[in-house]
Every structure is written in structure tokens, then in C-alpha cells.
Amino acid sequence: MEDTRRSEISLAIFPFENLTDHNGMEVFCKSFYIDLVTELSRFQQFRIIANEAIRNQDTDYSIKGSFRYQNDILKINAQLTCNQNNHIAWAERFEGNKEAIFSIQEDMLKQIVSTLQLQLNRDLLVRLRKKSPVNLTAYEHWLYGMEELKKGTLEADEKARAHFQQAIEIDPSYSLAYSGMSLTYFNEWSCQLWERWDVCQQGAFEWAKKAIELNDQDNVAALVLGRIYLYEAEYEIAEHFLRLALRLNPNDTENLIQIASCFVFLGNLKEAEELYRRVLELNPTNSHCYNQVGALIAFEKGEFEKSIALGLVANVTWVDFTAMMAAAYYELQDFDNMHGWWQKFLQEFQRKILKEGNADSAKGLQWIINVSPFKNKTRLLPFWEFIAGKKIIAPERKFLKTTPPENNFFFKEDEIWQISYDGKVVLMTEIKGFFDLAKLLAHPEQQFHCTELMGGGLETKAELVFDEKAKRSYQKKILELKEEIQWSENNNDLQRTANLHKEYDDIVDHLTSSLGLKGKIRKSNDTLDKTRSAVTWRIRNAIQKIEKVHPMLSKHLNASVKTGILCSYVPEKPIRWLTSDNLPS
């Protein structure tokens, strides 16, 4: 009897064979094999079996390949075999000159990984249609569900939801089924059930959170969370999850194209275009499926003729895409085509969104404005104002919270800090000082020794003494790091900002442990002073970060938080805070 509990497809990856005695090729073969295993391991639906573990294993598919160096040309063959019937499901050959060996390796890895996922899914779907539905595995239910989602209808969403639910019943810990369930609500929220916006949004959000709680490596859940935070104007948090999705799966075309479209709304046009080009390189035969994102990128770059050219050959699914085409023709002063495309939009808006009443320009335009989550000014604005006949003011978006907004709270949920004061809620990514502030806010007027906040003491290893020249070098580096941190924050490069902050913290810690009063160099054996300086800096740094998004709270904390050897929170009048330290269980 077939095992219906297994959630993954097993994939055996054999070391690529070196068919040439050329020096260095053996090392290249081994490094390529290791990289291929690593990249394919990102796909949770596959159980990767490599090296010696392949022996005596019954696997669904096998990947084999070879390298040959001949007449100064490197030739690489790869093939995917279905072990059930020894059918070659996919095969490809790559070649180039020896000087370009590393770029060949990188391009080949990207293409193999991306193509294999698509080919495996396609091959499995063909097999599944001949199989009894009662014997499907959790992964196969997920695959059917994803296939239904591509149809983009309410009926297909319901069928997809049924498949994902069956996958969960087979394997309650299968995170892909939860992220798939999230996508069914996300589809309805973002482009179908306008009348149930809040319900579908909340469904997408809650299912994605469950998925990422089960598996923090789930790029689909990270992508959904990133898009939801984007539409709620929580841009920093949105970018955090979008970049997480990109790091978790950088070679999946569906993942990349979604992130590219979100980067357009965040104003990261250069990165969006780079991702779009990478998608075309990975899957050139399906460019029509991605041209709508290319058209959007070109439009926001001011390349209106290119936007129209791509839009005319795009496989369109966005309701408001035709409105963007109308805007492109408006910029080119082609008013006949502008009006024609605007009427197409109103017809789509009537059919898919409004459903009742008359789809006039005012209603259609207001819907577009409501669902366009641009962080900065968009090039669509002149067209919007032309249609409206007046200045446009973007609506304020508010995220749905489980905690009542009248409470003051300061706590971490998943990877995000939720902070509320005086009725205003903000979401922020983690920095060290937030843990210190949460502890102080939970215990007003209580004094905490700096070593307690630091975490129970420090290593007492003595630091080396340095001279005045080294001191000046450190101080110059600190100024340079401050400028780099400011630049990366302004450009919303969260990963680079985090790395720069760590480097900055390390240098500041070293300096504070090595300098005495008035900057005099000393032996660094005063661990208490080092702890005091480190805790003070990270608390004040946290308050400074808060000032950018919640100036009133920053002002309150600056006046109420005392730092030094003893740290405390002493507000002018009693304030009740919900924090990670005192939340009800």
C-alpha cells in the first residue's frame, strides 16, 4: 500500500562526472555538486539525498551530469530522470570557454535549480492525473492546490483550499500547506473579493504566520507577509520579509517576480529590474507571464513606450493593469488609446470588483488609489489627477491588531516589535535596546543594574592597549560607519544596515573599554564601565530609532528613562505598559 504520509518528493543528486583529465576540473566538479545540493535544498517540497546516503535509497527522481573540457570549451551536461519508469524528464547542455568558468557555473546553477522545480512539478502533475485522488501525499495535494491557484478564480481558490486542508490533515506540520492556504486568501484579498477585503486580508495574514511559525525557512509565507505589510504601509517590515523571502529562495521565478513587483512599490526600481531580468534569464519561454511586472517597472522609470510594448504582449491578471496602460498613453499624449484602455479598466472593475451598480470613473479611480501601496510618489499621479480633475490625497492605511489600540504595549511577536503609545501603533525590526526598554517599561521606577540588562556579566579578558594613531583611526572609522548606516537606512537596505550596526557596536564597545575619562587611553580591565557604556548606548540608540516613526514616544522615553550603572523608567505620571515581561499567559 502506498505511503500517503510522506510530504516530500525524494531527489537523489549524484556527483557530476569529470570526463577530462584537465587540472583543476575535479575541484570544480566537487564545488559545483555541493552548490547544487545547497540550492535545491531551499525547496521544502523536495527531500534531497546526496553523496553516500543515495546508496540503498528508493528515490523518486535522480539528477546526474558530467563535465568535459575539449578544445578550450567547457561542456556540461545535466539530466533529470524519473526513477519510477527511467524516463528522462529533462536534460540540458551548457558550454563556454575556460576563462568564464565561474560565471558559467553561476548561470548554470540558477537555470538548473529554477528549471528543475518547474519540470518536476509539471512531470508530477501529469502523473497525478492518472492517480487515484485518495492516495495523494501531502506534497501532491499541495501541488494540485498550487495548480488551482494559477487559475485566479474564486472557484479555483475554493478547490485549492480543499487540497491544502487535506495536506494539513495528512501532515499537520507541513508548512507549505499553511502558506498555500494563505495564498488562497491572498488571491481573494488582493484581486478578487473587494467586498471582503478585511476578512481575506486577515485570513492571508494568519495562515502565513502559522506557516512561518512551523518553518521559519518558508519563503512563500515570508513573501505573503511582506506583501501584506506593504499594503498596510508598514514599509520597513514589508522589506524585511521580502528580503527574507529572497534570501530563502533566490532561484524560484515565481518568488522573484513577486518580490520584483513589491520592490517597485517600495521605490527600489533598480533592484526590481535586476530581479525581473533574472526571471527572464531563468525562464525565457514564459516571458509573457512576467511582462506585466516589466511594464510596471518601465512605467515607474518613465520609459512609457517600453511599458506599452511590454504591456501589449503581457499575460495580464491585475485588474488595474489596463489603467496603468491608459496612464502610459496619457504620458505620450495619445488620448484616443488612453480613453480606450481606461474603458477596458472600468469594464474589468465592473466585472471583477464592483459587480453591482455602475462603474464610473470616480469609483474606479478611488479603488486604484486605495489598493496602490506606493511608499513614495508614483508616476501614476498625474494621470490620476487628470481623471479626477483635482489633487489626489493618498489614503491612510492601518493594520489590523489583536491588541486594543488604547493600550500601551511594547513587545516582540515573531521577528517584529509591536509598539503602541498614545493610540499610535508602529512596527519595527529588532535591535538590542528594545529588550532593555521592554524590561524597564514593565517595571516602572525599579532600578536595574547595567550588568543585569546586559545578561549577567561579561567576559573579563583584557583588551590590548592601542596608541593615539590607532585611536584616531577608530574614531575616523566610526564617523564613516555612521554615514554608511544613514545611507543604508535611507535606502531601506535592512541587511546591510544590520551588518553595519554590528560593526559599529563592536568598535564602540572596544573604544569604551579602552578609553578612560576625557578620552585617555587605558588598559581595558574595567568590565563594569564597559557594561555601563554598552547598555547606555544601545538604549539611547533604540530611542533614537523610535523617534523616526513615533516622535511622541521618543520624547516620553528620553524624559523618563535613566541610564548609567543603574537604569530605570520613571515616568512623570503612572503609565501601564504591556510588554514581553508582563503579558498575560
Residues 153-187 have pLDDT tens digits of 778 888 888 999 998 988 888 888 888 888 888 76
Tell me what the mean pLDDT of segment 257-285 comes to: 91
**What pLDDT, on a 0 to 100 scale, did the predictor assign at position 24?**
64
**What pLDDT, on a 0 to 100 scale, did the predictor assign at position 394?**
64
**What pLDDT, on a 0 to 100 scale, did the predictor assign at position 409?**
86
Nearest to 207 by CA among 232, 186, 236, 227: 186
- Residue 268 scores a pLDDT above 50: yes
Which whole-number Å values give the CA distances from 453 to 92, 458, 536, 550, in the listed order? Answer: 58, 11, 10, 24
Q: Return the amino acid letter for 193.
A: L
Using pLDDT thresholds of 50, 70 and 90, give the confidence band for residue 457.
very low
- Residue 230 scores a pLDDT above 80: yes
Query: How crowded is residue 96: how many other Cβ atoms within 10 Å of its Cβ?
Result: 16
Q: Which three cell numbers stand for residue 412?
A: 516582540
Q: Are 251 and 42 in contact (CB under 8 A)?
A: yes
Give the predicted TM-score (pTM) of the model: 0.60
**What pLDDT, on a 0 to 100 scale, did the predictor assign at position 236?**
81
pLDDT higher for 225 or 469? 225
* Rounded Cα–Cα distance for residues 543 and 546 (Å): 5
Provide the Cα torsion 46, 52, 57, 63; round to 10°. Answer: 50
pLDDT tens-digit readout, 389-447: 998 876 555 444 433 445 788 888 766 788 888 877 777 777 888 999 999 998 898 98
Q: Of 94-98, 134-138, 244-248, 576-580, which range is least confident?
A: 134-138
Q: Are 251 and 110 in contact (CB under 8 A)?
A: yes
Q: Are 403 and 527 in contact (CB under 8 A)?
A: no
Q: Of 146-160, 260-274, 556-570, which range is least confident?
A: 146-160
Element at 505 (helix H, strand E):
helix 494-514
Cβ-in-10-Å burial (0-12, 13-18, 19+) of 106 comes to exposed
Beta bridge partners of 91: 79
* Rounded Cα–Cα distance for residues 463 and 511 (Å): 10
Which whole-number Å values give the CA distances from 291 to 252, 276, 562, in the listed order? Answer: 17, 9, 56
Tell me what the mean pLDDT of segment 66-85 comes to: 81
Query: How crowded is residue 130: how many other Cβ atoms within 10 Å of its Cβ?
Result: 6
pLDDT tens-digit readout, 16-65: 888 876 666 777 777 777 778 877 777 766 778 876 556 657 788 888 88
Helix 291-300 × helix 253-266 angle, to 10°: 20
* Rounded Cα–Cα distance for residues 217 and 53 (Å): 24
**CB within 8 A of 352, min separation 6: which ones?**
191, 192, 319
Q: Return the amino acid letter for 214.
A: L
Tell me which range, 166-180, 252-266, 297-311, 475-489, is most confidently predicted by mean pLDDT.
297-311
- Taken in order 470, 473, 475, 481, the sign of the CA dihedral is negative
